[in-house]
Structure 1
Amino acid sequence: MLNNFLLVFAQDKSLTKINGMSMVASRSTINDANAKDLRDIGSNYIAVMPYAFMPKAEKAQLFFDTKRQWIGETLAGIESDVETLQALGLKVMIKPHIWIASGAFTGNIAMTSEEDWIQFEENYKAYILAFASMAEKNKVSLFCLGTELNSFVSERTEFWCELIEEVKSIYSGKLTYAENWDKYDDVIFWDSLDYIGIDAYFPISENKTPSVEKVNFAWHGLKSALKSFSKDYNSKILFTEYGYRSIDYAGKEPWESSRKEVSGNETAQLNLLKGLHQSIWDEDWFAGGFLWKWFPNYNSDSNRHHNRFTTQGKISESYLKSFFKKI
């Protein structure tokens, strides 16, 4: 009887959704109090994001783990944060991002010569393998091979297939890749990974403050396509990023992140999150997701993030706490 109970318990644990938060890298490593805040809201997975930098989208240069970066973006800083999070029982996804100095979109990275492509591939491989090796050393549960790199992925497929195999040779945890919401069906190597990773900024509503019912209706159509795609690859879909700003028309272009001043609207953010959770979270083809984003050193006295993606200090924060703990 006890053995049967333990078996059922283990199976239930294996089916637990990823209730993830995307933690913003900071100037210093996080402390126990920062990690406890994440645990207390009900998260069970945290995405930590080591950044690499490119001067231009068409140049092969790629810099990472430099003294000019914030410690929270470097190998040493990420490793320290991983240890702190894991010590409090939180699992981790390491999710590398590239930042282009010109502000260009990473999905448009494209070299102008074969020589530059080869050099860029070498630079990118060094970046990924460095963090994959650190992930293995620290028993990190999930590793993401890259974020929103559509042109690179579609034009250099042989490189990506080889990179996946090389990462698997040094890292024993689960693997995903994060593609943008409108390009996930361009990726040919999903069957080599453990999850289909989507940064899920799908257009949902053109209303100023969409109702939860209208958000549910919008997801009904999207859900059908996602379920079919998951079935085609026999792999669960993971929202490697999802979220909405607390602004008017937040569901119209959820990917929009400019610093242009717009009217705050916490109800729009709340309704969009509720609708997504109600529509998607219980689906058996869905693995869970990482909400964008959480600041470990959030300043509640500042208005800097009042109309941005974070739920901290907003009505969505208490909702998330109840939702994550309920499931």
Structure 2
Amino acid sequence: MTWGWTGVRGTWTGPDADASMRAMADHGVNWTALAYAALQQTPISTEIPFDEAPTVTDDEIVHAIRAAHDLGLKVCLKPVVNVADGAWRAHIGFFDRDVPGEPTWGEWFASYTAFIVHAARLAEAEGCEMLCIGCEMVRADAREAEWRALVAEVREVYSGPITYNCDKYQEDRLTWWDAVDVISSSGYYPIDEWDEQLDRIAPVVAASGKPFFFMEAGCPSRTGSPARPNDWALPGEPSGAEQLRYYRAMYEAIGRRDWVAGTMLWDWPARLYAEADAAGNDDYCPYGKPAGAYLRDTYLELREKASA
């Protein structure tokens, strides 16, 4: 389960944050992605001021890692770049060839590498079990040489497994999967597409020889969301039944593919709503909803089978 998004400064410590993480652990979760964002101003900005607000501080990140480890959770540290003007990070991009006076991929990757390597140092110092070096960077995905150079720098300071979280439908488009240790993607596939998309991804995983899991997957508890699970703003009424229907279909399809190593569900906030308000909550978090009980039972059953 992903915890703490978007990593707003001041929200990752204190009683509310600790209670939220305990509630998540109580759902049978055994891994968490601690996901936080640094903001660049526009899709063509080249500076990523990751040490400035609203991004969580290093102390908050360390606190969250230690809190997760104290609860017996394995941690994937997941630093992400977002765009302050509201553009999706997938649209961050520059000219293919450098042009004098225009921002360049080289300038951006220099700033992005500093951000990711800083996170890698924290992950190493705190014993994080995995590091995710990027999320849904669709336009940047084609910059193979820059990503390989970034991975090489990360490996200088972090000894654990490295993954990259490609966007949905992009698993068969990346050319540098061999550079990372684990393939992962955002599996926000419509409820009736799971078998089709898993069949498309399977040859990629087989050819790579790498483990694969869904670094993100999930569905809001909202009418219409099973058909468009990636649309967090889709109009609709709160519906725990719709969220449950989606998860049942997703895990039934995944359960027929032994090459899928797991799911890192989206998402669990650092400040959790009251359980009494769950029926009126239409976001991704399953806390207090039918999907929460289903996930707890499913996770615990899988863990019992794994230990048998």
Category of TM-score, reference length = shorter chain: 0.7 to 0.9
Q: Secondary structure at the match of 2:210?
A: coil
Residue of structure 1 equivalent to 2:105: 117
Gap runs ≥5 in structure 1: 1-19, 206-217
Deviation at 1:196, TM superposition (A): 1.0
Whether contact under 8 Å (2:11, 2:271) holds in the other structure is: no
Verify: 1:86 aligned to 2:72, yes or no. Answer: no
Provide the secondary structure at the position in 2 that maps to 1:289.
strand
Q: SS state of the match for residue 293, structure 1?
A: coil
Partners in 1 of 2:280 and 2:206 — Cα distance? 38
Aligned: 1:100 with 2:88: no
Q: What is aligned with 2:129?
A: 141
Within the alignment, does 1:44 sit opposite 2:19 as a pair?
no
Q: Distance in 1 between matches of 2:139 and 2:256?
A: 33
Please report how far the alpha carbon of residue 305 of structure 1 lies from its aligned counterpart in structure 2 after TM superposition. 6.8
Whether 1:255 aligns to 2:230 is yes
Instruction: Give the superposition deviation at 1:261.
Output: 4.4
Distance 2:283 2:207 in 1: 36
The whole-number CA distance in structure 1 between the counterparts of 2:107 and 2:231 is 32
Equivalent residue for 1:157? Answer: 144
Contact 2:34/2:76 (8 A) holds in 1: yes
Instruction: Identify the residue that residue 132 of structure 1 maps to in structure 2.
Output: 120
Q: Give aligned-pair identity as a percent.
A: 24
Alpha carbons 1:22, 1:241 under 8 Å: kept = no
Instruction: Using structure 2 for the length normalisation, give the TM-score.
Output: 0.88
Is 2:275 the partner of 1:311? no
How far the C-alpha of 1:169 sits from its partner, in A, is 1.6
Distance 1:49 1:267 in 2: 27
SS at match of 1:62: coil
Question: Any idea what the Cα deviations from partners look like across 1:147-191, whole Å, max 9, x if unmatched?
Answer: 11111121x211111111111121111110011112222211111
Counterpart of 1:220 in structure 2 is 195
From 273, 278, 282, the equivalent of 2:247 is 273
Between the aligned partners of 2:182 and 2:255, the Cα distance in structure 1 is 15
Match of 1:212 in 2: none
Counterpart Cα distance in 2 of 1:148 and 1:142: 18
**1:72-83 pair list within 5 angstroms:** 73-83=56-66
Task: Spell out, residue by residue over 1:99-126, the C-alpha distance to the aligned partner (whole angstroms, 9 max, x if none).
Answer: 2122112111112573532221111000
What is the Cα deviation at residue 275 of structure 1? 1.2
Q: Which moved more, 1:228-237 or 1:273-282?
A: 273-282
- The answer to whether residue 180 in structure 2 is matched with residue 188 in structure 1 is no
Per-residue CA deviations over 1:54-96 (Å, capped at 9, x if unaligned) read 1110121212121x225xx232211110011112211101111
C-alpha RMSD over aligned residues: 2.0
- For 1:232, the equivalent position in structure 2 comes to 207
Determine which of 168, 174, 177 is the counterpart of 2:161.
174
What's 1:12 paired with? none
Which ranges of structure 2 fall in alignment gaps of 5 or more residues?
A: 303-308
Structure-2 change in CA distance of 1:33 and 1:257 (3 Å): closer
Q: Residues of 2 paired with 1:267 and 1:140: CA distance?
A: 35
CA distance in 1 between partners of 2:146 and 2:64 (Å): 30
Number of equivalent positions: 291
CA displacement, residues 254-306 of structure 1 (integer Å, 9 cap, x when unaligned)? 11112x64222211110110111122146321111111011232122557971
* Aligned equivalent of 1:69: 54
The answer to whether 1:325 aligns with 2:308 is: no
Distance 1:37 1:324 in 2: 14
Contact 2:278 2:289 in 1 (8 A): no
In the aligned structure 2, how far is the partner of 1:201 from the partner of 1:22?
18
**Residues 311 and 303 from structure 1, CA distance in 2 versus in 1: closer, same or farther, beyond 3 angstroms?**
closer
Say which SS state the counterpart of residue 227 (structure 2) adopts: coil
User: Given that residues 59 and 111 in structure 1 are in contact (C-alpha distance below 8 angstroms), is that contact kept between their aligned partners in structure 2?
Assistant: no
How far, CA to CA, are the matches of 2:60 and 2:256 in structure 1? 35
* Structure 1 residue 248 displacement after superposition: 1.5
SS at match of 1:133: helix
Distance 1:53 1:304, change over 3 A: farther
